[in-house]
Structure 1
């Protein structure tokens, strides 16, 4: 089982690392910039991060479920639920903000942009908590079987 668990943990760890970096490095630095540069930074980072996190989350979810069923450890299932919860959370609370920020031109950035980016930042912290909690549950499940 460890042959599946270790890559799963590595994938979750990379996702957690990416969102933690965004929450505690990128976001504080971005908030120090003017509206135009905040938007430029967000628009530069967003497609790369989205292109990495979405497929990883969707790909890891079924593996977490399978490991949970095979191992009989319910913490793998909790990890899977926390991870997949990011999808509806993003769709319900973040997508509208993403669409607005994607559609804006940095040179036309107004005073309305920084509050939108701060809103996105706060919502991103929820995703950071979900992914980090998913990793914690998976690590706990893994170490229970050693």
Structure 2
């Protein structure tokens, strides 16, 4: 049951990440520079808190499933679903901090280029979530 919960939570993480990349990001890029930054700033804060929590929960559930079953695929899923944390902190954070510090009223084309860059970096989070989901699904089907 814990492994199934890990799968469900990892799939929720992945679904949220996919939504950001295929719906929210393209929609925000259709806005002018000022509105683009105005939308990104609160969206990022809310999304980061939500996705970080979901990743942590899925990781803990995956570790518990691994501990209970010994299936290495649960350990792999747990590691993959927590990797967006260091990716975000080490790679994405400089861009995030720059965008968070920008004044919406004086937004420039630099904001747009940074948000485009942010969107490309966010695809790594999508990939890690998908790989974790696949690992948990694989673990559930092991004998």
TM-score when normalising by structure 1:
0.91
Q: 4+ runs of 1 displaced by more than 4 Å?
A: none
Give the CA RMSD over aligned residues: 1.3
1:18-77 deviations in whole A, cap 9, x for unaligned? 001001111111222211111111113111111111122123212211211321211111
Distance in structure 1 (CA, Å) of the matches to 2:40 and 2:109: 15
Say which of 72, 97, 100 aligns to 1:99. 97
Q: Secondary structure in 2 aligned to 1:144?
A: coil
- Choose 40-49 or 116-125, whichever is displaced more: 40-49
Q: Aligned residue for 2:64? A: 66
Distance in structure 2 (CA, Å) of the matches to 1:11 and 1:92: 24
Which 5+ residue runs of structure 1 have no aligned equivalent? none
The 5-angstrom pairing of residues 31-110 of structure 1 reads: 31-110=29-108
Distance in structure 2 (CA, Å) of the matches to 1:78 and 1:139: 11
Q: Aligned residue for 1:23? A: 21
Distance in structure 2 (CA, Å) of the matches to 1:70 and 1:7: 14
Say which of 111, 129, 132 aligns to 2:130. 132
TM-score when normalising by structure 2:
0.93
Q: Aligned residue for 1:122? A: 120
Which 5+ residue runs of structure 2 have no aligned equivalent? none
